[in-house]
């Protein structure tokens, strides 16, 4: 059963994700500043802040904003063994554990440890069914098997959109355990940056050798 919360104290939440990102860092900072959440974020990797090249693109993946500022975080990737990881992940004083994805071994260890400790367990995911028919039969069978074993023990599911919610329902998750949590955007940050860059628009176009009046389309 989920714990009953004392309204005078913050809900103690641990969030497990792969590495720091420019879109989740501000969200963690916002949650930690609200006062009703005592947040600690566990990262499996320091990709994004270590200035190491991304293994897929070869590009330095570091960001120009302080994505670790404003909240407590710990890195688990440097731990020497699975036993040291389990020791580092302290769930005894937590109310909620949020795990992002379930394809990594550390994710499974976290899910199991949290479940054995009686902590409310939430799974966040962005998987959809769009390319399911293009995957091999054995992969589909494996995913169905994993979902059958894993999902019944999870208290709540946090898909990032309606397609992800549909995917969880496809694997048997009841609708009343699904809570859509879209990716967040710090609009004030982007509005401020937009105003600042408008002042240097011509300088930027000159550096990129883009003629004045030429239409520019940016794809991200």
Q: Tell me whether residue 6 is in a domain.
A: no
Which pLDDT value is given to residue 2? 40
Domain with 118 in it? 11-186
Q: Which stretch of DSSP H or E encloses residue 167? A: helix 162-170
What global pTM score does this model have?
0.78
Q: Tell me whether residue 97 is in a domain.
A: yes
Q: What is the CATH number of the domain that holds 160?
A: 3.40.50.2000
Neighbours of 166 (CB within 10 A): 14
Which pLDDT value is given to residue 82? 67
What does the block give as tokens for 149? 């074993």
Which pLDDT value is given to residue 54? 67
User: Does residue 163 sit in helix, strand or coil?
Assistant: helix
Per DSSP bridges, beta strands 72-75 and 37-43 are parallel
Round to whole Å and give the CA distance between 13 and 218.
Answer: 38
Residue pair 121/141 in contact by the 8 Å Cβ criterion:
no
Q: Tell me whether residue 203 is in a domain.
A: no
Q: Tell me whether residue 217 is in a domain.
A: no
Which pLDDT value is given to residue 9? 62
Q: Tell me whether residue 208 is in a domain.
A: no
Tens digit of pLDDT per residue, the chain (220 long)?
A: 344 444 456 889 999 998 888 888 989 999 999 888 999 998 888 877 766 666 677 766 667 788 899 999 988 765 566 667 777 677 778 899 999 988 788 888 888 888 888 889 999 998 888 888 878 888 888 888 888 888 888 999 999 999 999 999 999 999 999 999 998 888 888 899 899 888 998 898 999 999 888 999 988 7
Dihedral (CA of 155, 41, 36, 182) sign = negative
Q: Tell me whether residue 149 is in a domain.
A: yes
Q: Tell me whether residue 28 is in a domain.
A: yes
Q: Tell me whether residue 80 is in a domain.
A: yes
Residue with tokens 């028919």: 133
| Domain total in the chain | 1
Q: Which stretch of DSSP H or E encloses residue 114? A: helix 105-116
What does the block give as tokens for 161? 């959109």
Q: Can you give the three-state secondary structure of 62-94, one letter per residue?
A: CCCCCCCCCCEEEECCCCCCHHHHHHHCCCCCC
Round to whole Å and give the CA distance between 147 and 154.
Answer: 10
């Amino acid at each position: 059963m989920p714990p009953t919360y004392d309204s005078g104290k913050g809900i103690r939440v641990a969030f497990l994700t792969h590495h720091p990102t420019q879109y989740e860092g501000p969200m963690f900072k916002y949650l930690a500043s609200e006062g009703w959440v005592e947040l600690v974020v566990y990262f499996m990797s320091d990709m994004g802040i270590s200035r190491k090249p991304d293994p897929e693109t070869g590009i330095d993946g570091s960001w120009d904003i302080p994505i670790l500022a404003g909240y407590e975080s710990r890195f688990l990737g440097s731990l020497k063994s699975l036993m040291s990881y389990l020791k580092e992940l302290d769930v005894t004083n937590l109310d909620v554990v949020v795990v992002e994805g379930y394809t990594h071994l550390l994710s499974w260890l976290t899910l199991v440890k949290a479940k054995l400790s009686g902590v409310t367990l939430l799974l966040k995911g962005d998987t959809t069914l769009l390319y399911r028919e293009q995957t091999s039969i054995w992969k589909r069978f494996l995913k169905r098997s994993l979902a059958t074993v894993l999902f019944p023990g999870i208290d709540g599911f946090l898909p990032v959109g309606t397609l992800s919610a549909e995917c969880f329902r496809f694997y048997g998750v009841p609708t009343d355990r699904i809570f859509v949590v879209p990716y967040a955007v710090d609009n004030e940050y982007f509005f401020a940056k937009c105003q600042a860059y408008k002042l240097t628009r011509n300088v930027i176009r000159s550096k990129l050798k883009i003629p004045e009046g030429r239409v520019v389309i940016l794809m991200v």
